[in-house]
Structure 1
Amino acid sequence: MPLSKSLTLRGYLVHEVLSDPASRAAAKAFILDGLAAGSLKPVIAATFPFERTVDARRFLESNEQLGKIVVTVSRTARRQTVTRSCGHPASSAKDEAGKNRV
Structure 2
Amino acid sequence: MKSNIPKHPCANKCTNFKEEQCNTCLIQISENQKFIKGDVVVYANHIEFNDLKVVDAYQPNDHYWLECGQCVYESWIRPASITELNANRRLTEAEQALAEVS
TM-score range, shorter chain: under 0.3
The structure that is helix-richer by fraction is 1
The structure that is strand-richer by fraction is 2
TM-score (norm 1): 0.26
TM-score (norm 2): 0.26
Which one has the largest radius of gyration? 1
Which has the higher relative contact order, 1 or 2, with Cα contacts under 8 A spaced 6 or more apart?
2
